[in-house]
Amino acid sequence: MLTGRALVAVKLLKPFGDWKAGDMVLIEDWKAKELWESGVVEIIDESDKVIIELEKAITEERENKPLADIDESLYERAEFYIYYLSKLLQDGQSLPPESLKAYLAKLSNLKEKYEELKTIRFGKILKTVMLRPNSLEVLSKLAPEEREIYLQMSKIRIKWLGEG
């Protein structure tokens, strides 16, 4: 879901507002989607950068017992580039075969890393809820989507087992 928490780099193809053609700017993910689909901007593909960030987060999670801090926009940026690459491939008749293969590999890798990170962190969130429900320290380490899960699970845990 595109929420506006993630910023996406775009290059303007046409003048828009205060921007002129050729300007490169960072805009919210949902605006980037709308403007790209309207042909106003070109997305600057930073999916490789997001894959590297996901790999780094996965490594950090594997090496640390407690939940590690996570960039609050990482999930949204991953979701945006999954959308972007999927859309490119969906409309991919005009892509050369080498580009098609590269985008397919990139999309597959991005989806795999994204799911892997979410799975690892979900398991850690479940364990953390058991030991430390409603902890402000834990909340500060979570992405917004994870906070919602943590708070809901904490509520269930407290209702079932009490504060203890």
**What's the pLDDT tens digit per position in 78-125?**
999 999 999 999 987 788 888 899 999 999 999 999 999 999 999 999
| pTM for the full predicted model | 0.90
Supply the pLDDT for residue 97.
86
Q: Are 35 and 11 in contact (CB under 8 A)?
A: no
Q: Is 108 helix (H, G, I), strand (E, B) or coil?
A: helix
Q: Are 26 and 9 in contact (CB under 8 A)?
A: yes
The model's pLDDT over 14-29, given as tens digits with 9 standing for 90+, comes to 999 999 999 999 999 9
Residue linked to tokens 């490119």? 88
